[in-house]
Amino acid sequence: MGIKKGDTYFCTSDIGWVVGHSFLIYGPLLVGAATVAYEGKPSVTPNPGSWWKIVEKHKVKGLYSAPTAIRALIKDDPNGEWIKKYDISSLEIISLAGEKCDINSER
In-domain check, residue 3 = no
pTM of the model: 0.84
In-domain check, residue 75 = yes
What pLDDT sits at residue 107?
47
What pLDDT sits at residue 104?
61
Q: What H or E segment, with its residue span, contains residue 34?
A: strand 34-36
Decide: helix, strand or coil at residue 11.
strand
Burial of 30 (0-12, 13-18, 19+ CB in 10 A): exposed
In-domain check, residue 54 = yes
Q: Which amino acid is at 96?
A: L
* 96 vs 66: CA distance, rounded Å: 5
- Whichever domain contains 72, its CATH number is 3.40.50.980
Q: Which amino acid is at 14?
A: D
Secondary structure (DSSP) of 51-71: HHHHHHHHT--EEEE-HHHHH
Taking only the tens of pLDDT, the chain with its 107 residues reads: 889 999 999 988 777 777 766 777 788 889 999 998 887 777 667 788 999 999 999 999 999 888 888 888 888 898 999 999 999 999 999 888 776 666 665 54
